[in-house]
Amino acid sequence: MRTHEDQWLEDIYRNTLPRVAGVIHRMGGHLEMAKDIFQDAVIIYLEKQQQNKLPAGVPAEAYITGIARILAIRKLKQSGPHIPLDNMDSDIGVPADYYAPPPVAKPVLEYVKAAGKRCLQLLHAFYYDHLSIQEIAADFNFKTQHSASVQKYKCLEKVREQIKQSDYAETVS
């Protein structure tokens, strides 16, 4: 003699197992995996039901399908398409021509030369000869130290502008 619980379980299997199998198949699983996961999902559902921890208003089919989906994701993550390192081909890698070669930057001296001979001499005196602004003002015949400092700043700005234009030209071409 069939009980109400037996009929309920039969209905769950008949109506929900095909849905769960479809979900698992779309995720890359197979029928045997779907049956195992479905069994686990039904057991979890029945345990939750016994503990009165089921959300109100959610049909059993939907809850079991949701549990099965979560279990399938976990199982597929664990047994997913992992390739042992021993079986990997040694020639797998990034092709040599995959990345564009990095732009070849001109040496800074080229940019300083492009700023002009006087700038080259002034910056050389300050950075390489370690002359003070007072000495540069005297050597280059500036009226004040401030004039020498302003001229040094203008030379640096010319060099920066040359570099910016060069970088822009390289990125455009």
For the segment 48-65, the average pLDDT, to the nearest whole number, is 88
Comparing CA positions, the residue from 159, 123, 128 lying closest to residue 140 is 123
Amino acid at 95: P
Q: Are 84 and 61 in contact (CB under 8 A)?
A: no
Of residues 159 and 173, more confidently modeled: 159
Digit-coded pLDDT (tens) for 81-138: 555 555 555 556 666 666 666 666 677 778 888 888 999 999 999 988 999 999 999 9
What is the SS3 assignment for 137-164? HHHCCCCCHHHHHHHHHHHHHHHHHHHH
- CA 116 distance to own-chain centroid: 45
Cα end-to-end span (Å), the chain: 84
pLDDT given at position 96: 65
Judging by beta carbons within 10 Å of its beta carbon (0-12, 13-18, 19+), is residue 152 exposed, middle or buried? buried
Comparing CA positions, the residue from 24, 116, 112 lying closest to residue 75 is 24
- Tell me the pTM: 0.46
Q: Which residues contact 48 (CB under 8 A, 6 or more apart)?
A: 54
Q: Are 30 and 75 in contact (CB under 8 A)?
A: no
Q: How far apart are CA 97 and CA 138, in angstroms?
A: 55
pLDDT given at position 172: 47
Comparing CA positions, the residue from 111, 90, 95 lying closest to residue 155 is 111
